[in-house]
Amino acid sequence: MKRREIDLLNSKKIRKNLDSFEDGLIYSKDEGRHPLARYASFDYCFNYFQEFKDKTELVNKDNIQNSCLHLGFYLASWGMYRGSANLLQKSVKIFEPLIKYIASEKCNVWGIDVDSYTEDNISKLIKCQKIIEKELRIDQKGKDILVTKIMLGVFGNVPAFDTYFKSGSNLGTFNKHSLKEIYRFYNNADYSKIISDEVARVKTFEYHSGKVGSRSYTKAKIVDMIFFIEGYKNDKNKLK
């Protein structure tokens, strides 16, 4: 039987990809993970939203603007404003309806991670995807990238389905099938241990101190890193 593309990695390649991410393969000047590096924008956005135990406080008069700004800058830093008809011509206030959904009881995807991709939770993630598309009036072009980067940056519950992740995983679309494949990939005993060990080890940067804090990356974020690096290497190999 032909192996599925998502299975073409092995434990050695997975560890190497994670080491490459830590060592700065994708960072400027080979500086590795650094509080000033562009990829640390994820850390600050993720920490901001996760720190609110009462999610309704995200939209009170003292926080709603900050909530929009945090999400907007993270997306800009991660390339989502570059050539985007969805965001480029809009002010940061475009995120208000989305933040109100994120803070509401209707948003039931907080705390979901790849180890809990049950049928019910996968359906919740897909529903969340559709609501984000509606609230931001996202057109079809590039919708997977923008929506999943929002879900990763706010909830940490799915990988970002950008060009490199899709190339590395061979999962072309964010849908139920892809989420089931990610869940199946994670449930390989060797892989789940590597991912869980990485979760225990890799912490986010705190904004105020600029130092590594106590909040861990999620399993979905680690999966994102594994396949992002694989896709990045695939792209570089094409140029050789």
Among residues 79, 7, 37, the alpha carbon closest in space to that of 226 is found at 7
Question: What whole-number distance in Å separates Cα of residue 184 and Cα of residue 197?
Answer: 18
pLDDT for the residue 2: 45
- How many whole angstroms separate alpha carbon 101 and alpha carbon 136? 11
Q: What are phi and psi of 182, to 5 degrees?
A: -65, -40
Name the packing angle between helices 119-136 and 176-186 (round to 10°). 130
What parts of the chain have a pLDDT lower than 70? 1-7, 24-32, 83-84, 140-142, 237-240
Kindly state the tokens that stand for 28. 């400027």
Instruction: Give the global pTM.
Output: 0.93
* Residues of the domain holding 102: 5-238
Whole-number pLDDT of residue 33:
81
Decide: residue 67, CB within 10 A, 0-12 exposed, 13-18 middle, 19+ buried: buried
* Domains contained in the chain, number: 1
Judge contact between 230 and 167, C-beta under 8 A: yes
Residues in the chain: 240
